[in-house]
Amino acid sequence: MPLNRHPRRAVALPSMRNDLLLLTAAAATVFVTHGKPLAAPVTADWCAPRFAVVPAPAPTQPLLKPGDRLAICGDSITEQRMYSRIIETYLTACEPDLRVSVRQHGWSGERAEGFLQRMKNDVLRFQPTIATTCYGMNDHQYRPFETSIGDYYRTNMLAVVGTFQAAGTRVVVGSAGCVGRVPDWQKNQAPEYTTDALNLNLRELRNLAWAVSRTEKSAGFADVFSPMIEADCRAHQRYGRDYAIPGQDGVHPDWSGSTVMAYAFLHAFGLSGDLGTLSVNLQSGKATAVNGHEVIESRPGRLTVRSRRYPFCVTPGELARPNSIDSGKQWVPFDAELNRLRFVATGGAAKSYRVKWGLISRSYSARELAAGVNLAADFTLNPFSEAFAAVDRAVAAKQAYETRQIKSEFHGEAGKQDMAGTVQRTEAERARLVAAQQSAFVPVTHTLELTAE
C-alpha cells in the first residue's frame, strides 16, 4: 500500500485541535494526525529555492458569476476526475447560491495543441461561460527545457485562450503541476534527464502560462506548479520519500496532490471562503445564524441549526484512502482560506467549554469561543459528513459519465454516424445524473452542545 499519507496515532479522547479524527464504523476508534496544517505561501526562501517563481497576484474579485457554466479542461490528470471532482463538489455544497454547473473535459495524453483541435466539438458546443485549463505536463515532453518546447506551448495556449474568448468564454489559465521522478515511459535515461531538469522545464511553462493569461487578458491564472512542488518538498522533509504529492508514478497526483491542485484553482476563482457564522450568547441564550444557516432552537447549552450550505467535509470512506484529501489540506491554507464555518459563543462565565458537534467534542477556552472557531477545520468528521459524501458520490458519477460521453460516444462510432443524435441522447442521460446530484444536496439539521469545564 502506498504511504502517501501522514502517520496516525491512537488517543483516548478527541480533544486536540487541528488534529485529524477518524471514527471507524465498527469501533469508533479515534486517531489524530501528527503536525498541524501548513500555510504554503510561494516565496523565495522555501525548501527548494531553485524552483522559486515570481508569485502571481492574488485575485482582487470573485471570478465566478451566478449561473456560470464551468468547463474544466486538461490532460490525463484532469481525466482522473480527482481535482475536478473536489472543485465541483466544493462549488455544489459550499457555494450553492452561485448555481455553477460543471463539466470536466479531461483527455489522457493531451497537449494544448490536441485540445485546440477538439474544442469546438467537445467543449464549445455546451457554451461554457468560464473555463479552466491545465496543460503543460505532456507539452514539456518529460525532458529538459528547450526553447522550441516553450514556443510550441505558448503558441498553442494563446490559440486555446483566444478560441475560448472568441466564443464568449472567460478563461482561468492553469499551469501544470510538478513531477516526482522521471516517469517510466520516458525511455531516454541520459544523465541530463533528471527530476530537477523536468521540473525546471515545467517551471518555465508555468511562467509562460502566466504570461499567456496576461497577454490575452484572461479571467485569471491558477499557479498549480508552485504549491505542488513546495508541498512535495515539505512532505519529503516531514514524512520521507514515500509521500509523493505528484503521485506514485511521479506524474499523476493521488488525492493529496489533487487537493493541492483543486486549491490552486479555487484560490484563482477568488472565492471568499466564508461559509457562514453561528453565534450564541451563553448568558441570554440569544442565537443567530447567517449566510445559509438558520437557528431552529436555542436553549442553555444547546444550539440547533438548519443549514442549506455545507462546509467542505472529510468522510469516513475518504479517510480510509492511503492518500487522503485531508492529508493534502495540510500543505495549503484550504480551511483557512476556503472552508470557514465559524462558531462564536460569548457571555459565558466559565473559563473553558467542551463543544460537542455530532460524535466529536473539543475543548475551547472562553476567549477562543468569543473570537470564533472554525468548525470546518476543527471537526474533521461532523454532522454534514454523510450528506456531503452523498453529493460527492453524485458528482463522481456525473463526471465519470462525462468522460464516457466525450471519448466513447462523441469520438466513437455513434458520433461518427450521427453526432446530433448522439449529443441529444447522451445529454438526456447526463441530465439524469445532474438531477441526482441536485437531489443529493439537502438541508442538514445539526446541534451544537456546550458544557462548562
Is the CB of residue 176 less than 8 Å from the CB of residue 235?
no
pLDDT in tens, 13-49: 333 233 323 322 222 222 222 223 333 333 444 566 7
Quick one: pLDDT at residue 321? 67
Tell me the pLDDT tens digit for each residue of 86-105: 999 999 999 999 999 999 99
**Across the beta sheet with 220-222, what order do the strands follow?**
101-106, 69-74, 130-134, 170-174, 220-222
Residue that has been written with the C-alpha cell 491542485 in this structure = 261
Local structure of 322: helix, strand or coil: coil
CB 407 within 8 A of CB 107: yes
Q: Measure CA 98 to chain center.
A: 17
Kindly report the pTM of this predicted structure: 0.90
Confidence band, pLDDT 50/70/90 cuts, at residue 320: low
Residue 219 is predicted with a pLDDT of: 86
Say which DSSP state 95 is in. Answer: -
Predicted confidence at residue 42, as pLDDT, reads 39
- Angle (nearest 5°) at CA 163 between 160 and 169: 105
**pLDDT number for residue 60:** 87
Please report, as a single letter, which amino acid is at residue 174.
G
DSSP state for residue 249 in the 8-state scheme = T
CA-based torsion, 92, 431, 82, 87: positive or negative: negative
Q: Which residue has the higher pLDDT, 2 or 320?
A: 320
Q: Are strands 69-74 and 101-106 parallel, antiparallel or unpaired?
A: parallel
Spans of all domains in the chain: 49-55+65-268
Residue 322: its pLDDT value, please?
62
Tell me, what amino acid is at 195?
T
If DSSP codes are grouped into helix, strand and coil, which group holds residue 303? strand
* Mean pLDDT calculated for residue range 282-287: 93
The arithmetic mean of pLDDT across residues 402-409, rounded, is 98
Of 15-24, 80-89, 142-151, 210-219, the one with minimum mean pLDDT is: 15-24
All three cell numbers of 408 = 466513447
The fold for domain 49-55+65-268 equals: Rossmann fold (3.40.50)
Q: Which residues contact 27 (CB under 8 A, 6 or more apart)?
A: none
Beta-carbon contacts of residue 387 (< 8 Å; ≥ 6 apart): 310, 440, 441, 442, 444
Q: Does the pLDDT of residue 6 top 60, yes or no? A: no
pLDDT value of position 119:
98
Grid cell of 358 as nine digits: 455530532
